[in-house]
Structure 1
Amino acid sequence: MQHTRTQHGAAGAQRVERWLAMLERAASEPDVPAQLVVVNAFWNRNVREGVDAAIWKQEDYWATPLETLGRGIGDCEDFVIGKYFSLVHLGVPPDRLRLIYVRAQVGGASIAHMVLGYYTRPDAEPLILDNLRDSIQSAAQRRDLTPVFSFNADGVYVAGAARASVDRISRWQGLLLRMQQEGFQP
């Protein structure tokens, strides 16, 4: 906590403390769907939407949950990363979660976006956790999203292709290394 306070001040440390309290509260929820609601709401309410160029002075940066909470601002990937690792920390099997790149219809434009999918079974339609909406909906209900590809710790998934190694996603590897350096183990 002292590292977060030194890096991001009292406000950043308070957000991390609220995250830890939320994880403790969510662990007592009766089932995974209830945990999804708690985790989605926490990240959507405690982090403001921003762009990497303004936040990190980089074109595309995947922040760790501690970095995102420290600054209190993130882009869609940062929201998804925070939700993913919160749920993994709570014991949700990583193979039930996928970080999904989509094309999202926002204000009449098609934008690159990322959401988190929760799968009750490997072949199930996922429930979508998104920073653009507070409600969790099935993928079929999200007609504004067109999936491009998805990934998790087990691999990269593209419709019609064999699963590929997640090692191909260098930003994921860099993120995991920085999380390890922060001492965060999901």
Structure 2
Amino acid sequence: MTSALLVSCLYAAPTQELNQQKTVSALSKRYGDRAGLRANAWFKIVNDSQQLAEIDKLEKVNQFFNLFRFIDDQTLWGDSNYWASPMEFIGVNGGDCEDFSIAKYFTLLQLGIPEDKLRITMVKATSLNQYHMVLAYYEKPNSIPLVLDNLDKTIKLATKRKDLLPVYSFNGKQLWLNKERGRGVLAGSSSRLEKWTDLKLRLGVDRLRQPKLNME
């Protein structure tokens, strides 16, 4: 791939037109019939929620993905830190905190939420004493963000999540370093994140990875 084409891929709009029949067929073939049912349920959420208010879109997407199972990457993929695509996450019926946040992020983009309002955010979860990932939604640039999380399944303002200490955040364009409970300090392009760059190059249904564990 030429460097110019690579840059184009990294900065292209992170939504794509997905063919429902092709997607359902690919997931069913790779992961089993139930994966196809989950894919159809995802398409229904996307199709039925287009005209909802943004807060209602957040609720629908958060509730849908929080029904999925949590499982660590090593057990599921045989990889200590694998960022699954939304279709892989739907296909295998679970993943870790990164996968929940990534799936919510891309689904909300499909629903027309502007990318500038969304940030995938790495935090320190003090209740677990470990790093964790959530999705943050900013209604306005200076708003206190709402947090979509798979640990606390209720969407809450960041100020109500005293158990989360932000470390860094990113979307399809930018990377921020968070030194306090604000929007953070701009630290350049999100393409600096190797895992994020790899994920964006794998989006779609033509690069579905086979899991180590059957989650059906």
> Could you say whether these structures have the same fold, taking a TM-score greater than 0.5 normalized by the shorter chain as the test?
yes
Is 2:168 the counterpart of 1:149? yes
| 8 Å Cα contact 2:27-2:205 kept in structure 1 | no
What's 1:130 paired with?
Answer: 149
Is 2:87 the counterpart of 1:63? no
Give 1:175's match in structure 2, choosing from 199, 204, 209: 199
Letter in 2 for 1:38: K
TM-score normalized with structure 1 length = 0.92
Is 2:35 the counterpart of 1:12? yes
Question: Number of residues paired by the alignment?
Answer: 179
Letter in 2 for 1:114: M
What's 2:63 paired with?
Answer: 41
Give 1:81's match in structure 2, choosing from 94, 98, 102: 102
**Per-residue CA shift, 1:85-112, capped at 9, x if unaligned?**
0000000001100000000123xx3111
| 8 Å Cα contact 1:26-1:39 kept in structure 2 | no
Q: CA–CA distance in 2 between the matches of 1:180 and 1:49?
A: 22
Q: CA–CA distance in 2 between the matches of 1:113 and 1:181?
A: 27
Moved more, 172-181 or 68-77: 172-181
Structure with more helix by fraction: 1
TM-score normalized with structure 2 length = 0.79
For structure 1, which runs of at least 5 residues remain unmatched after alignment? none
**Per-residue CA shift, 1:5-34, capped at 9, x if unaligned?**
1100001111111111111122132x1001
**Per-residue CA shift, 1:42-67, capped at 9, x if unaligned?**
0001x100100001100100001110
Letter in 2 for 1:170: E
Q: 1:182: Cα distance to partner?
A: 3.6
Secondary structure of 1:164's aligned partner: strand
Structure with more strand by fraction: 1
Secondary structure of 1:5's aligned partner: helix
Letter in 2 for 1:171: K
Secondary structure of 2:133's aligned partner: strand
- Higher RCO (CA < 8 A, seq sep 6+): 2
Percent identity (aligned): 37
4+ residue stretches of structure 1 with deviation over 6 A? none
